[in-house]
Amino acid sequence: MGKAILVVSFGTSYEDTLKKTIAAIEDDIRAAYPDYEVRRAFTSGKIIKKIRERDGVEIDTVQSALEKLVRDGFKEVICAVTHIINGFEYDKITAAASEFSDKLNIKITRPLISITEDYEDIIEAVSENFKPDKLYVLMGHGTEHFANAAYPALDYHFKSRGFDNVFVATVEGFPSMQNVMDEIKADSRKRLVLMPLMLVAGDHANNDMADDWRRAFSEVGFEVECVMRGFGEYEKVRGLYIKRIEEKIQ
């Protein structure tokens, strides 16, 4: 049996954004590596359970996907991680993979934001979407994990590149929405765009960003637009995931 690429995502139960992001990344990987078997796994047990109960579709965890790869005779596997940071979900992937070290030669790609050059790559991938007469707030998930430091670091990198109108905030970490609001509410530019700093435009984008955050920024005087476009919809961002795989193949 040949080699496999296991595309590991947090997951989403929103079918439309799944097709535009996770499935699009998987399709790009199949096109780039036609000699590899490409399979899917999610790290969110909650989402796996919801899809099973709603649609009758069973999506593998990392462990069950690796078990099937062993059963099917694969020996070499690249776990292509689509997560944004090296947080708790990434820790789950490495822990699950370690249990198969005696059965599979597993290489795990790094998340989107991991090393210094990643910040510059991300800015290059999305900066064409920013106009100087508007303010932009990118909504990340945030976490209690020390990897949360990637979010303020990305904000700093945007500023160092001259994007004084781009801000990074998180739902569950630092900087918070309030931190960013305090920073920008005196800005003369009152047209504000909210964008997900997440692979998919799922629950947080639809509920937190398009509802709570939109209302909060509107109440302090901003004209708010929500861009319901996950990071996985940007072709150049998807290219960064291909780059991660290429680094493991070379």
Whose tokens are 């690796």? That residue is: 66
157 is catalytic: no
- DSSP 3-state assignment of 97? helix
The structure tokens listed for 169 are: 């905030």
Nearest CA to 178 among 130, 207, 220, 231?
220
Q: How many whole angstroms separate alpha carbon 222 and alpha carbon 181?
A: 10
Strand locations in the chain (E): 3-9, 36-42, 76-81, 105-108, 135-140, 166-170, 191-196, 223-226
Beta bridge partners of 107: 78
Q: Which of 141, 145, 157, 204 is catalytic?
A: 141
Torsion angle of alpha carbons 67, 71, 75, 76, nearest 10°? -50
Contacts of 250 (CB under 8 A, 6+ apart): none
How many other CB atoms are there within 10 angstroms of residue 150's CB atom? Answer: 24
User: Assign residue 189 a region: left if phi > 0, alpha if psi is -120 to 50, beta otherwise?
Assistant: beta
Active site residues: 141
